Chain A
């Protein structure tokens, strides 16, 4: 009996010792995290909470905010420009995200082959996404698509009369979608990494069984890549619903011609900073957060049906 009691106490002691060490480690971890935590609370959470409050107020940036309840949210659905801006952003998301992902996947499959100078090509195709969000690229784009821009000069060489692409309401959004598609590099790199992880044995087995190239792609590559597609889809959705810089530069902050490039974030900026309606702008921001959340959740739920994990999804 005595022996067993002694044994028990030692195990308890051991356990508490482990706990102490763990606790020490935890504390160290949080101390290291502290700078980030402070930043998160001061620069992200704090402003978010105050913007949530402001979304229920009328606030012109200078006077004290005046509580108006849900009026900002109600006003949105009667605001033609708000509706136009939501349309522009949704069009952009539904066109630019798929085209960008398809382009990234195709180029990734091509660059996954062993060939001369593949490193050079990978770098080249990745480059645009590094430059992507920059002001310089947006200005370059503007000059390309202007009425006497490079695109039209090339077209003129083939005797085709070009349009003023960025100054025509039917085409302006298209040029920004092309700009976004062109920046597929980041997703491409992730696809490349995903492709490298697909076990070679599967391809060998397929070759032995005489699978055709499309069969191999759709039956092996695509299903095994689906977790990566899922990841890219969510990231690109979040990125493109918030697109701002290119539209701001190309339309000089107006969202024109005739609101054709009035992205949601651009309109939000106009409301907040040029028309002094910061309460309305805050309300717009929260609608954006809500819609983005719902869309991401939908993708997550749908993933059950189309994302295949090799290990059955158990990590």
Chain B
């Protein structure tokens, strides 16, 4: 008994010690805060340093990507540090998997990086009030005068600009030209329809050993599919499609699997977003849906030749539904200690000629028109293919840019789950589609409430 008594006493003592020490620390801070003289003094010295423009600054910059993006981005960071000796940049980079989990944890702990790369889910983070509005810096540190209007709009929420678009991209299909040759099938016309697609893919599967005609286009493909009949997922607080559209989409893919054109479930389920391990690079399929800026990353991962195609169009409307869209953004953390420096770095990243030459096309075609012209002038064959695809899209499609659904993570998982339920025939297409639609609506409602 005595032992326990002593143990408890000591436990509480340590608790007290721990509690006291943290208290005294915060008291110290308060003390210095209340002494006006010291405060102003320290402010003065800071101002002096700023005046001489040589305050040592450390910026943390985070992004996800493949090896090529890492190499290029790190090189630009080095160039920036050379030009701005008072700035040290700590790069925090990784693959896509886990990137946002880590970021969420950092945001919760209040130590997020100063400059953060976002995708179409920027809206979710703006809604959670963790992103710095950039309006005060536009025209000063950041020059957006040459940036495309729609790209600026895509990062604008409630009339405030929250992100700098890093590039323009468009969904497209990657066709493995080498596999087509091996199958003895000539490449289709770029004005193809779903009928052509349905006819072509089973032939590919049949003529190739261990390669299926096409991979499932997934949630992104569904968005394009909706645009072909002038519908949309979610825009300005409104749902733009019905459960019927979901059924139609999943039935289309069921038909493609039954005809042998699309990959069997076990293959499709193991698909990943990493170019090196993707189905098309692994030769599991001959056609896969990608974002156009990734052509380089996919081509670099294999010996095969790839070509970018627009989606097959709807026979009745004749639309391919593909739209130009921002690839990624840089945005600043709301509580960054160096907002001006963060803004300067973002400006350098998208507007500096040398920096953009190094970055090339990896995050999509540059949004700054001068920069883009300069890059097109010295484009490699691969880059040219991407630019001409972007041109093709802007000529052939009037589809608007539709941002991600709010609650991106949860809804993407819901979509994948629904696909798999249909793949493994746990529910009929109709049942699964209806349940998907219902749950999606309640998810959107949930996130909308949070955002208000």
Q: How far is the CA of A256 from the CA of B417 in the complex (A)?
A: 7
A residues near B108, Cβ cutoff 8 Å: 61-62, 278
With both beta carbons as reference points, the residue of chain B lying nearest to A248 in the complex is identified as B98
With A42-B18, A60-B128, A252-B272 known as contacts, the answer to whether A164 contacts B416 (CB < 8 A) is no
B residues near A63, Cβ cutoff 8 Å: 128-129
Q: Are B420 and A258 in contact (CB under 8 A)?
A: yes
Q: Are B104 and A37 in contact (CB under 8 A)?
A: no
A residues near B11, Cβ cutoff 8 Å: 37, 41
Chain A interface bracket (under 10, 10 to 19, 20 to 34, 35 or more)? 20 to 34
With A254-B413, A274-B409 known as contacts, the answer to whether A62 contacts B420 (CB < 8 A) is no
Bits for B85-105, please: 1 = Cβ < 8 Å to A, else 0. Answer: 000000000000110110011
Verify if A166 is at the interface (C-beta below 8 Å from B).
yes
Bits for A28-39, please: 1 = Cβ < 8 Å to B, else 0. Answer: 001001100110
With A61-B107, A62-B129 known as contacts, the answer to whether A252 contacts B97 (CB < 8 A) is yes
Query: Quick one: which of B97, B98, B104 has the most chain A CB within 10 A?
Result: B104
B residues near A74, Cβ cutoff 8 Å: none
Q: Are A168 and B105 in contact (CB under 8 A)?
A: no
Q: Are A62 and B266 in contact (CB under 8 A)?
A: no
Q: How far is the CA of A278 from the CA of B105 in the complex (A)?
A: 11
Q: Are A258 and B424 in contact (CB under 8 A)?
A: yes
With A164-B267, A254-B413, A259-B417 known as contacts, the answer to whether A38 contacts B14 (CB < 8 A) is yes
B residues near A259, Cβ cutoff 8 Å: 417
Q: Are A163 and B107 in contact (CB under 8 A)?
A: no
Partner of A62, one of B128, B270, B421: B128
- Chain B positions 125-158 with a Cβ under 8 Å from a chain A Cβ: 128-130
B residues near A163, Cβ cutoff 8 Å: 266
Q: Are B105 and A273 in contact (CB under 8 A)?
A: yes
Would you call the interface of chain B mostly helix, strand, loop, or mixed? helix
- Chain B positions 1-55 with a Cβ under 8 Å from a chain A Cβ: 6-7, 10-11, 14-15, 18
Bits for B382-417, please: 1 = Cβ < 8 Å to A, else 0. Answer: 000000000000000000000000010110010011
Q: How far is the CA of A266 from the CA of B48 in the complex (A)?
A: 52
With A256-B416, A256-B417, A257-B420 known as contacts, the answer to whether A276 contacts B104 (CB < 8 A) is yes
Q: Are A167 and B6 in contact (CB under 8 A)?
A: no
Verify if B426 is at the interface (C-beta below 8 Å from A).
yes
With both beta carbons as reference points, the residue of chain A lying nearest to B334 in the complex is identified as A62
B residues near A166, Cβ cutoff 8 Å: 270
Chain B nearest CB from A263 CB (Å) reads: 15
A residues near B98, Cβ cutoff 8 Å: 253
With A62-B129, A275-B410 known as contacts, the answer to whether A168 contacts B97 (CB < 8 A) is no
Partner of B269, one of A33, A61, A167, A270: A167
Chain A nearest CB from B94 CB (Å) reads: 14
A residues near B101, Cβ cutoff 8 Å: 253, 273-274
Chain B nearest CB from A41 CB (Å) reads: 6
A residues near B128, Cβ cutoff 8 Å: 60, 62-63, 276
Q: How far is the CA of A158 from the CA of B178 in the complex (A)?
A: 32
Q: How far is the CA of A60 from the CA of B407 in the complex (A)?
A: 12
Verify if A147 is at the interface (C-beta below 8 Å from B).
yes
Verify if B450 is at the interface (C-beta below 8 Å from A).
yes
Chain B nearest CB from A29 CB (Å) reads: 9
B residues near A169, Cβ cutoff 8 Å: 420, 424, 426
Q: Are B270 and A254 in contact (CB under 8 A)?
A: no
**A residues in contact (CB < 8 Å) with B:** 26, 30, 33-34, 37-38, 41-42, 60-63, 146-148, 163-164, 166-169, 252-254, 256-259, 270, 273-276, 278
List the 9 closest A-B pairs by CB distance, nearest first.
Answer: A164-B266, A61-B108, A167-B269, A167-B266, A274-B409, A258-B420, A257-B420, A30-B10, A273-B101
